[in-house]
Amino acid sequence: MIDEQTGEQRRGSFWRELPILLGVAILVAVLVRAFVLQTFYIPSPSMEHTLNVWDRVLVNKLVYDFREPRRGEIVVFKAPTEWQRGTEGEDFIKRIIGVAGDHVVCCDAEQRLMINGHTLVEPYIYKDDKGNPDPPADEPFDITVPKGRLWVMGDHRSASGDSLEHYQLKQDLQEATIETDSIVGRAFTIFWPVGRATWLSVPEQFDGIPEPAPAK
């Protein structure tokens, strides 16, 4: 037999505690968004077809507190002032091609990027409706990534405002690269739309790239 008075007390206790529970849930959500995970949507075609316009990705904001960014990872970062197009503090998303000290060259005899003397095959580069891929770069270049900075490029090379585009404008490596500290986090999965959900893992082609030679 149920004690009606005890039942009423429990219901009353629940409604008194509900605002506290909601407040805690909101606080946890805010802390997670601020320090651990955040969602971003893709507003441009610069990473097609790895990431399509309006895809939504989940970004790990904590990972680079414990290690350095690595080649092949897709990262969200605060755009340098020179890269911004009217939106102060806007975020960009690109793939890391070269880390500090890397010697990045376009191109080898088969028109592929080379990093530290190693040819990089890029299966993720955008292909048109006929299956024709973008070239890795639209003109030759030969650079060494400065200390504390990263060379980043979009997978849709012909539609990406990235390190190569900005290097071509001024031949200035400081403006063409991004600061490691500007990274918001690593995009590690597409979660929407559901039909495109997938992990954004580092392509195996990056595994064979040697470390840069020590500075002389």
Q: What pLDDT, in 10s, does the model give residues 189-212?
A: 999 999 999 999 999 999 999 999
Give bridge partners of residue 7 from the DSSP assignment: none
Q: Which residue has the tokens 């080898």?
A: 108
Output the pLDDT for position 133: 94
Whole-number Cα distances in Å, 188 to 53, 66, 87, 117, 123: 17, 16, 25, 28, 18
pLDDT value for 29: 53
Find out whether 51 and 57 touch, Cβ atoms under 8 Å: yes
DSSP structure class, residue 182: G
What is residue 85's predicted lDDT score, i.e. its pLDDT? Answer: 76
Q: Where are the alpha helices (DSSP H) in the chain?
A: 4-35, 163-170, 173-176
Residues 177-180: contacts with CB under 8 Å, at least 24 apart: 177/145, 177/146, 177/149, 177/150, 177/151, 177/152, 178/77, 178/80, 178/149, 178/150, 178/152, 179/80, 179/148, 179/149, 179/150, 180/64, 180/68, 180/69, 180/100, 180/148, 180/149, 180/150
Catalytic residue among 13, 44, 46, 216: 46
Low-confidence ranges of the chain (pLDDT < 50): 1-2, 31
Q: Residue 205 in contact with residue 123, Cβ under 8 Å?
A: yes
Cβ neighbour number for residue 35 with a 10 Å cutoff: 11
pLDDT of residue 19: 65
Q: CA nearest 158: which of 197, 126, 204, 118?
A: 126
Q: Which of 44, 61, 78, 94 is catalytic?
A: 94
Structural contact between residues 209 and 115, judged by C-beta atoms closer than 8 angstroms: yes
- Can 46 be counted among the known catalytic residues? yes
pTM of the model: 0.84
Three-class SS state of 199: strand
pLDDT for residue 163: 97
CB 153 within 8 A of CB 164: yes
